[in-house]
């Protein structure tokens, strides 16, 4: 099967796929722009919108400064945490629980609630043996909407901060949340949930089905549930928490080659749209294209490396008389190309859904998802979070370039000063510092190697992957690693919360500061930020920060394992 694989065909398919995503993102960005300026309020949804504003006594035209915006965002997310936490503890007493699952234990509940509120969807439980249908719908699906809407709102507030002048207002959080959920996430998720259901993704409230099995009658109990409605928003909001343990590798979550492409499309859609929304807001589409290009190049680098590493396969297995690529942890219906595309997309954004088991990828193949996460998930990034982290990198690049060529650092006419730099550095470095710090602590604890499923350097890769995934709010895993004990559930929850909210608040602070500044008209001393040179420069800054911070870990984990596998040492 794999021998007939044509690399050229796969390359063309990749280009075609990205053209389609971009082709949809461009008009969608116009829609985003209008939604957040209140231009889309009509129809039945607008009726609901106005009722909400009456209920919470909010005037949709009254905006807040960054402190108010951040405070509302944090309060809203705290409520989300508390409600989900309670749901998990009470699920045994609640309806829509045909399998009679009992409560989550306390630590698992803390970890899981944090995980879904922070858009991480790191899962220490297994969906089909622990979560009731009510928990999946009213717990996880709700957070899949609201955590991704939170990210988008922050990104929009940051865009406003950059493009406005002489004001301290960056938006009204309640209004942004309402509009984002009602006009953007809900309709898209609804349509795609039905499309997925038509292709075989299940959607029911049935108890698990007893099947006789064919032939020699091996009984099989088949897990059921309302999967399609969650699957659509899980990908659209780059959440990634699987309904089932096997996530998007499970045939009921992702039954065909086509549903797989639809799911990757949904993962990339909003992250690709946001740079263009920014372009429209600034009134200079080239600024959006510049950010898009930087993201695209990093993404293409990732997908091609992963594809090439998996295409080369595992020589240790070939020696045993086995032909083809390493199929351990891969599904036949996805094959090489669709597995590579999914694995890169899910970690280049903050999604974390998987259609192959990353733990079983070849060493360099597995390095790609790890690398994409540690770069800060900026290519194309999680919904909202990817965009504002990218703005952090752009500001950093402007500043460093400004220092090197002796110009006043400014971005789109706004002077970059101490406060902006603090916010950018916090945003860019906090998740990485968490990874190094917590991995370091974990490594000196006794018996850490017993938690690793695989021996040698691969075990280290598993540990780093776990903290990278949690700190960067990704949620995918080298799932052999056992992170279910008290230390990892609690410190993991801490990493997810800090990794989510510290950069978010820092970027809102930057937005507030930038909004107050007057725009300086471009002069001969202005560094043009929509140029090829500046794009390359930004890519280099991102790569240097990602690669230099973590290179020792890459060297001791995946790279050593690659050398062992290929007989290089």
Partner 1 sequence: MTSLKKAMLLFTVLFIITGLVYPMTVTLIAGFLFPNQAHGSLIVDNENRVIGSALIGQNFTAPQYFQSRPSASGYNATSSGGSNLGPTNPILLELVDKRTNALWKAGITDPIPSDLVMASSSGLDPHISLESALIQVPVVAKARNLPEEKLKALVLTESVKSPFTGAYVNVLSLNRALDEMNQSNE
Residues 144-183 touching partner 1, rule: CB under 8 A, are 145-146, 174, 177-178, 181-182
Rg (CA), the chain: 23
Q: Which of 94, 285, 304, 317 is close enough to bind partner 1 by CB under 8 A?
A: 317
Bridge partners of 222, per DSSP, are 209
Alpha carbon distance 414, 403 (integer Å)? 16
Alpha carbon distance 291, 45 (integer Å)? 32
Report the chain's terminal Cα–Cα distance, integer Å: 32
Hey, which residues between 534 and 553 contact partner 1 (CB under 8 A)?
Answer: none
Question: Which of 35/291 has CB closer to partner 1?
Answer: 35
Close Cβ partners of 494 (under 8 Å, ≥ 6 residues apart): none
Question: Which of 409/457 has CB closer to partner 1?
Answer: 457
449 lines the binding site for partner 1 (CB under 8 A): no
CB of 389 to partner 1, least distance (A): 25
As a dihedral over the C-alpha atoms of residue 388, residue 394, residue 400, residue 403, rounded to 10 degrees, the angle is: -110
255 lines the binding site for partner 1 (CB under 8 A): yes
Task: Provide the 3-class DSSP secondary structure of residue 144.
Answer: helix
Q: Near partner 1 by CB under 8 A, which window of 50-58, 159-167, 401-409, 520-528?
A: 50-58
Three-state SS string over 485-523 comes to CHHHHHHHHHHHHHHHHHHHHHHHHHHHHHHHCCCCCCC
250 lines the binding site for partner 1 (CB under 8 A): yes
* Residues binding partner 1: number (CB under 8 A): 124
Q: Which of 229, 469, 489, 538 is close enough to bind partner 1 by CB under 8 A?
A: 229
Hey, which residues between 264 and 303 contact partner 1 (CB under 8 A)?
Answer: none
Stretch (H or E) spanning 10: helix 7-36
For residue 132, how many other CB atoms are within 10 A of its CB? Answer: 23
60 lines the binding site for partner 1 (CB under 8 A): no
Hey, which residues between 337 and 356 contact partner 1 (CB under 8 A)?
Answer: 337-338, 354-356
CB 192 within 8 A of CB 233: no
Hey, which residues between 89 and 118 contact partner 1 (CB under 8 A)?
Answer: none
CB of 90 to partner 1, least distance (A): 15
Q: Vertex 153, ends 147 and 159: CA angle to 5°?
A: 145
Question: Which of 314/439 has CB closer to partner 1?
Answer: 314
Q: Vertex 503, ends 67 and 58: CA angle to 5°?
A: 35
Q: Near partner 1 by CB under 8 A, which window of 155-163, 284-292, 454-462, 529-537?
A: 454-462
CB of 54 to partner 1, least distance (A): 11
Q: Which of 63, 128, 235, 263 is close enough to bind partner 1 by CB under 8 A?
A: 128
Q: Which of 37, 323, 485, 531 is close enough to bind partner 1 by CB under 8 A?
A: 323
56 lines the binding site for partner 1 (CB under 8 A): yes
- CA 146, distance to chain mean position in Å, is 14
Bridge partners of 410, per DSSP, are 415
61 lines the binding site for partner 1 (CB under 8 A): no
Nearest to 361 by CA among 409, 420, 317, 414: 317
Q: Which of 204, 408, 485, 531 is close enough to bind partner 1 by CB under 8 A?
A: 204
Q: Which of 201, 274, 351, 496 is close enough to bind partner 1 by CB under 8 A?
A: 201
41 lines the binding site for partner 1 (CB under 8 A): no
């Amino acid at each position: 099967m794999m021998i007939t694989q044509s690399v050229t065909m796969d390359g063309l398919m990749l280009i075609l796929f990205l053209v389609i995503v971009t082709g949809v993102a461009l008009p969608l960005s116009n829609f985003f722009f209008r939604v957040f300026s209140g231009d889309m309020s009509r129809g039945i949804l607008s009726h609901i919108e106005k009722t909400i504003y009456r209920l919470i006594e909010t005037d949709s035209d009254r905006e807040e400064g960054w402190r108010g915006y951040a405070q509302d965002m944090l309060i809203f997310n705290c409520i989300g945490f508390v409600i989900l936490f309670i749901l998990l503890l009470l699920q045994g007493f609640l309806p829509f629980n045909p399998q009679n699952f009992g409560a989550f234990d306390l630590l698992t509940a803390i970890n899981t609630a944090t995980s879904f509120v922070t858009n991480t969807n790191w899962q220490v439980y297994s969906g089909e043996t622990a979560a009731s249908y009510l928990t999946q719908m009213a717990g996880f699906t709700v957070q899949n909407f609201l955590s991704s809407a939170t990210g988008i709102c922050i990104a929009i507030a940051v865009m406003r901060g950059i493009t406005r002048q002489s004001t301290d207002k960056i938006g009204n959080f309640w209004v942004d949340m309402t509009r984002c959920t009602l006009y953007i996430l809900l309709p898209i998720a609804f349509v795609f949930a039905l499309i997925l259901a038509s292709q075989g993704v299940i959607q029911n409230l049935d108890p698990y089905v007893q099947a006789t099995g064919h032939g020699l009658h091996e009984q099989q109990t088949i897990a059921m549930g309302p999967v399609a409605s969650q699957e659509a928003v899980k990908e659209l909001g780059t959440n990634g928490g699987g309904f089932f343990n096997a996530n998007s590798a499970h045939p009921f979550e992702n039954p065909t080659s086509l549903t797989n492409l639809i799911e990757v499309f949904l993962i990339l859609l909003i992250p690709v749209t946001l740079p263009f929304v920014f372009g429209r807001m600034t009134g200079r589409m080239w600024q959006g294209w510049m950010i898009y290009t930087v993201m695209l190049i990093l993404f293409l680098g990732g997908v091609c490396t992963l594809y090439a590493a998996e295409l080369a396969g595992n020589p240790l297995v070939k020696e045993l008389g086995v032909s083809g690529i390493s199929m351990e942890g891969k599904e036949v219906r996805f094959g090489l190309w669709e597995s590579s595309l999914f694995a890169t997309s899910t970690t280049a954004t903050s999604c974390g859904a998987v259609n192959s088991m990353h733990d079983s990828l070849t060493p360099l193949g597995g390095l790609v998802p790890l690398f994409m996460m540690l770069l800060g998930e900026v290519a194309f990034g999680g919904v909202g979070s990817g965009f504002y982290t990218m703005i952090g990198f752009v500001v950093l690049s402007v500043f460093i370039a400004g220092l090197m060529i002796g110009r006043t650092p400014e971005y789109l006419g706004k002077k970059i000063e101490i406060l902006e730099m603090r916010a950018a550095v916090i945003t860019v470095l906090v998740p990485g510092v968490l990874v190094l710090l917590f991995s370091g602590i974990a490594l000196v604890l006794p018996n850490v190697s017993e938690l690793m499923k695989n021996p040698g350097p691969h075990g280290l890769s598993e540990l780093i992957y776990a903290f990278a995934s949690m700190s960067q709010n990704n949620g995918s895993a080298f799932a052999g690693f056992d992170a279910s004990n008290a230390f990892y559930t609690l410190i993991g929850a801490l990493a997810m919360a800090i990794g989510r909210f510290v950069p978010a608040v820092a970027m809102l602070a930057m937005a507030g500061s930038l909004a107050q500044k007057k725009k300086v008209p471009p002069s001969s001393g202005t560094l043009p930020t929509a140029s090829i040179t500046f794009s390359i420069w930004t890519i280099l800054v991102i790569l240097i920060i990602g690669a230099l911070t973590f290179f020792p870990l890459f060297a001791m984990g995946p790279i050593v394992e690659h050398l062992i596998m290929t007989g290089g040492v």
